[in-house]
Amino acid sequence: MIVEVLFLAVTANAQQVTVIKAGTLIDGRSSEARRNQTIVIRGNRIESAGDVATPAGAKVIDLSNMTVLPGMIDTHTHIFLQGEDPAEGGYDVQLLKYPLAYRAARATVAARRALEQGFTTLRDVETEGAGYGDVGIKMAINEGRIPGPRLFVVTRAISTTGGYNLEGYAPEVEVPKGAQLIDGPIEARKAAREQLDHGADWIKVYMTHRSWVDKQGNLVSQPTLTVEELKAIVEEAHGWKKKVACHAYGGEGMQRALDGGCDSIEHGLDLTDANIAQMVRQGTWLVPTLSVYYTHNDPPNTPSGKRDAKRVAVHGPSFQKAIKAGVKIAFGTDAGGFSWDEPMAQEFARMTEFGMSPMDAIRSATSRAADLLDMTGDLGIIAPGAYADIVAVADDPLRDVNALKNVRFVMKDGAVFKQ
């Protein structure tokens, strides 16, 4: 039976002691799972975990027939997108026809869906024309008014003139854009300052935009910001002790992303050996988002269909090379790019298909993702001092990562959300 607990109890009572009996525990950091472990939670933090005694008077949650792991972290989502089916008008109608309140209502549902699936933290990487809506959703979650994951938000994202949707309209018609467009380092810095001022936890930059297949069959991507523009943003964000996530497929835009000092490369479809060596040297993260490129692809005999197929063809090998070279990898799905009704955990099977071990895939969505978010020890781990964000699945995810699609128990901040 699934019981969703009244969600206004978002944070556990500070003195409440809860004990979880875990049949198998994957703590998010260790390379091995452990059997028959006890997790003691006081308030919203984990007090102890391991072979420890149950304190007298504690409330006991018996998950002895399940695998328990840290609440999962998706470091690349869009709660303000809904999988834009081209048959339903695609991306453009979101910005042209839907009132912001409608989009915010649907973002609220998306946030809830993520939590139901065991994702207790999201880095949500831009609102796609919905301005600072993510700051509002985060506020409502933190105040306990709606259920949802912990959100790290980027607000509007930044690209250049000619570097983001909407496009293809008559030049005389002014249409809204899905990102804040800048030209020149001064505008770039100003946009970063505005976004940070209004609550951005991260800055998101689009370093490539259009892509196509050239005569030689290579994937080519249009670069957007110059190194100087990007450096102004990175310097500004780092001054605020925040980081910069860069959408980049490959080529010139990828080179500028790395030279300009991006903290994470999003997608990284077409990575050269030199790109990978530079990422290792600079400590740049890769958030691959493999699965989303398998959805909504155009017919294979059309130019856009050839591009879509080429994206998929180069992505896996790039990811494999990155794993081998030791690039830091964090789990990200691009959920919102596909419907929130599809399982976010489908990404795990793609990662393992290309050679990542199930445990490493899980770590990419727990302790490794927490490292990316500068939340090491607080999130993505079941250990003393961490927030009590805990999930459980019935089947063994180390045998089949698809077990993670079926999360049976969700606790966030010490409060049970789903059981």
Interface with Zn ion by CB under 5 A: which residues? Answer: 334
**What is the nearest approach in angstroms of Zn ion to the Cβ of residue 163?**
15
Map tokens 């875990």 to a residue. Answer: 22
Least Å from the CB of residue 300 to Zn ion: 24
Write down the least CB distance from residue 78 to Zn ion, Å. Answer: 6
Minimum gap (Å) between residue 291 Cβ and Zn ion: 12
Assigned token pair, 300: 């294979």
Would you say 27 or 334 has its CB closer to Zn ion?
334
Q: What is the rounded distance in angstroms from the CA atom of residue 211 to the CA atom of residue 224? A: 12
CB 210 within 8 A of CB 168: no
- The nearest distance, CB 123 to Zn ion, in angstroms, is 11
Helices 303-325, 273-282: crossing angle, 10 deg rounding: 50
Separation of alpha carbons 408 and 223, rounded Å: 43
CB distance 335 to 345 below 8 Å: no
Compare residues 78 and 418 and give the one whose CB is closer to Zn ion: 78
User: Which of 230, 393 has the CB closer to Zn ion?
Assistant: 230
Report the nearest approach of Zn ion to the CB of residue 152 (Å).
Answer: 14
State the DSSP H helix or E strand holding residue 222, giving kind and residue range, or none if neither.
strand 219-223
Whether cis (ω within 30° of 0) applies to the bond prior to 151 is no
* Beta carbon nearer to Zn ion, 84 or 236: 84
CB-wise, 43 or 131, nearer to Zn ion? 131
Smallest distance from Zn ion to CB 190, Å:
24
Distance of closest approach, residue 76 Cβ to Zn ion, in angstroms? 6
Q: In Å, how far from its chain's centre is CA 406?
A: 19
Query: How many whole angstroms separate alpha carbon 342 and alpha carbon 336?
Result: 10
**Cβ atoms 304, 47 nearer than 8 A:** no
User: What is the Cα–Cα distance from 339 to 77, expressed in whole angstroms?
Assistant: 11
The rounded distance, in Å, linking the Cα atoms of 334 and 112 is 16
**Residue placing its CB nearer to Zn ion in the complex, 24 or 75:** 75
Identify residue 306 by its one-letter amino acid code: K
Residue 283 tokens, joined: 């400590």
Q: Going along 242-375, which residue ranges are E strands? A: 243-250, 264-270, 285-287, 328-329
Nearer to Zn ion, 92 or 389 (CB): 92
Q: What is the CA radius of gyration of the chain?
A: 21
Crossing angle between the packed helical segments 227-239 and 185-197, to the nearest 10 degrees = 30
CB nearer to Zn ion: give 308 or 334: 334
Q: How far apart are CA 278 and CA 132, in angstroms?
A: 33
Q: Decide whether 229 or 334 has the Cβ nearer to Zn ion.
A: 334
Task: Report yes or no: 303 and 213 within 8 Å, Cβ to Cβ.
Answer: yes
Closest approach, Cβ 202 to Zn ion, in A, equals 13
CB atoms within 10 A of CB 196: 18
Q: Which residue is nearest to Zn ion (CB)?
A: 334
